[in-house]
Chain A
């Protein structure tokens, strides 16, 4: 599914990612944990294709296709979805219009027929029910005035509507209270279908109580320094990142 090889990326000349190797097979949920400044969000943005991040070395493929060579909208159409840490507010565009434009753009690319207004609303209803989300947000402008929880729920709803094969969740838990966290996690779990893959980026272990990962990676200073099962997250929670940091410094000869 997603294969990242020796990925180096920098922002304004400063190298943030220093050689990441990561393979996420179809249907698996991987988590990346790391302290602030380790490069977690940079990885998400590089995958989504944000301009400000320059890839200086390495490759990323999605189902064998060169992801880095695609424009961000093509990546989305090819099945990559990033749930934003800070979803952008777009006043003046109703969420419903926005979603229909997005769904139809993606469907056109995948050579599926475009949905008319009725079919679209049917799909909205169906997905909302499956995720246990209410649709009242759809009539408001995209993310405008949404609470933190509403924004994240809207992201998960978009994820469901766009039917991606690879989902990247960039600190989806930040700013959520426990109830919102549960709703969002249940939404994500409902989308785990054995084929779809997930990369869950988080600072805290808490989210992983609800979205249980198959594999946990620890990111430090732009490199993956440890990979393990879901228990690794618990260990980090108990010991903090400091222990691993020291280990990794030793390993790097620092």
Chain B
């Protein structure tokens, strides 16, 4: 690495200039964000936020936006779809909307589920009012980069009192090729007072060449809102997935978000949750299977701005081979945010000698009547439980697999969207050492 490479953010200049010429309501935001990205430069491991994620390979790659859509057959997409539940489906390939693969279906009156590109034109006020309000792109280079390149993605708007019955499923497919492709999909979910919605994001990759997927999802939840959000990351072998997620929620709102990280060379899941009304509940979860020489970084910040809110962070990593993982969880409690109840848990299961994990809880508390607990564990499989399973006839490999499954399953067992839960369970079984054995024994359906 040379200093020159790290400071050269002009690699995106021509792409940005082309986009800037298109103008539109977001032109100013994009320009500011682009300038901010150039100022910030690529994150380094000397900074706090990316201390454990080395971005040099990303900085050194000659990344380009995809010029035209790549073709993806429906068959390839099928395993990523939810069985037995109708979904409003949007599919993007290398950041470009794919009409053939998408099936938005019928949207109830008053609800918006559409491409962000269309929403920018058709509902510019809605988009400009909310976009960029839940994340601080001024401090995170990747969020700034995504914001500079906002072009398309998903826009959801659920008006007051409306319960959107079917989940929205957005799939970001990356088909890597000779040249490293970058995409910056943006999702904006706005749910007004008393509304309810579910959104599933799947980021999947085809091909094993390097690319950068840099998605940012924002959820703006009003009062008495319930939102369930999921992200499944199954990128290509050499893909860097640097994901951002921002959430701001009003009074008595309940928002769940769960990220399952499975495939990709680097998977970073940056989440910021802001409880901006009283009696809200933010429930953030993450599960990662970190094998090979993969790296997973869950980087969280939860801001308690108002009294009587609860937050839950529940993150588990299963590490094998030479996998490495990092967890950073900052809980910030504003002076006014009395009766805050924040619980942070990060549990790591180390299944090999060469796997590595780093975990950092960070509490910043300015109120005096709060309950903030955090716990981090790094361990191996419980010997007593292993023996108990053996004593019931279950062999060594199957017992390991069953206990590993159990460890992971606690993150996803409460997911109400059954087809998704089943899919996650089955992905988990595929990925666990001897998961096939477990499945064949009928230990898990």
Residues of A near any B CB (own CB < 8 A): 48-51, 71-73, 75-77, 82, 84, 87-88, 90-93, 97-98, 100-102, 104-106, 108-109, 114-117, 120, 141, 158, 162
Q: Which residues of A contact B366 (CB under 8 A)?
A: none
CA distance A114 to B443 in the complex (A): 11
Q: Which residues of A contact B402 (CB under 8 A)?
A: 93, 98, 101
A82 touches B391 (CB 8 A): yes
Given contacts A73-B395, A101-B394, A101-B441, contact A50 B387 (CB under 8 A): yes
Q: Which residues of B contact A51 (CB under 8 A)?
A: 383, 387
Counting from the closest, the 9 A-B pairs by CB-CB distance are: A101-B443, A92-B406, A76-B393, A72-B390, A102-B392, A88-B388, A106-B393, A105-B393, A93-B406
Contact of B327 with A by CB under 8 A: no
Q: Which residues of B contact A50 (CB under 8 A)?
A: 387
B410 touches A73 (CB 8 A): no
B413 touches A102 (CB 8 A): no
Q: Which residues of B contact A49 (CB under 8 A)?
A: 390-391
CA distance A91 to B398 in the complex (A): 17
B442 touches A162 (CB 8 A): no
Contact of B106 with A by CB under 8 A: no
Q: Say which residue of B388, B393, B406 sits within 8 Å of A84 (CB atoms).
A: B388
Contact of B2 with A by CB under 8 A: no
A102 touches B406 (CB 8 A): no
Q: Say which residue of A76, A91, A104 sits within 8 Å of B391 (CB atoms).
A: A76
Q: Say which residue of B398, B406, B407, B442 sits within 8 Å of A120 (CB atoms).
A: B442
Residue of B with least CB distance to A90: B385
A90 touches B403 (CB 8 A): yes
Contact of B230 with A by CB under 8 A: no
CA distance A84 to B388 in the complex (A): 9
Given contacts A76-B393, A162-B392, contact A101 B438 (CB under 8 A): yes
A76 touches B390 (CB 8 A): yes
A114 touches B442 (CB 8 A): yes
Residues of B near any A CB (own CB < 8 A): 382-385, 387-396, 398-399, 402-403, 405-410, 413, 438, 441-445
- A–B pairs, 25, beta carbons within 8 Å: A48-B391, A72-B387, A73-B389, A73-B394, A76-B391, A76-B392, A87-B388, A88-B382, A88-B385, A88-B388, A92-B406, A92-B413, A93-B403, A93-B409, A98-B389, A98-B402, A101-B398, A101-B441, A101-B444, A102-B389, A105-B441, A108-B441, A114-B442, A117-B442, A162-B393
Q: Say which residue of B393, B410, B445 sits within 8 Å of A102 (CB atoms).
A: B393
Residue of B with least CB distance to A83: B391
CA distance A208 to B356 in the complex (A): 53
Q: Which residues of A contact B408 (CB under 8 A)?
A: 92
Q: Nearest-CB distance from B438 to chain A (Å)?
A: 7
B398 touches A93 (CB 8 A): no
CA distance A100 to B439 in the complex (A): 11
Residue of A with least CB distance to B410: A92
B442 touches A115 (CB 8 A): yes
A98 touches B442 (CB 8 A): no
Q: Say which residue of B388, B394, B407 sits within 8 Å of A105 (CB atoms).
A: B394
B392 touches A104 (CB 8 A): no
Given contacts A88-B388, A92-B407, A92-B409, contact A97 B444 (CB under 8 A): yes
- A48-B387, A105-B394, A117-B442 are known; give 17 further A-B pairs, CB within 8 A: A72-B387, A73-B391, A73-B394, A77-B393, A90-B403, A91-B406, A92-B405, A93-B403, A93-B406, A100-B441, A101-B402, A101-B442, A102-B394, A106-B393, A114-B442, A141-B406, A162-B393
Q: Nearest-CB distance from A69 to chain B (Å)?
A: 15
A158 touches B388 (CB 8 A): no
CA distance A119 to B112 in the complex (A): 47
Q: Which residues of B contact A90 (CB under 8 A)?
A: 385, 388-389, 403, 406
Q: Nearest-CB distance from A201 to chain B (Å)?
A: 15
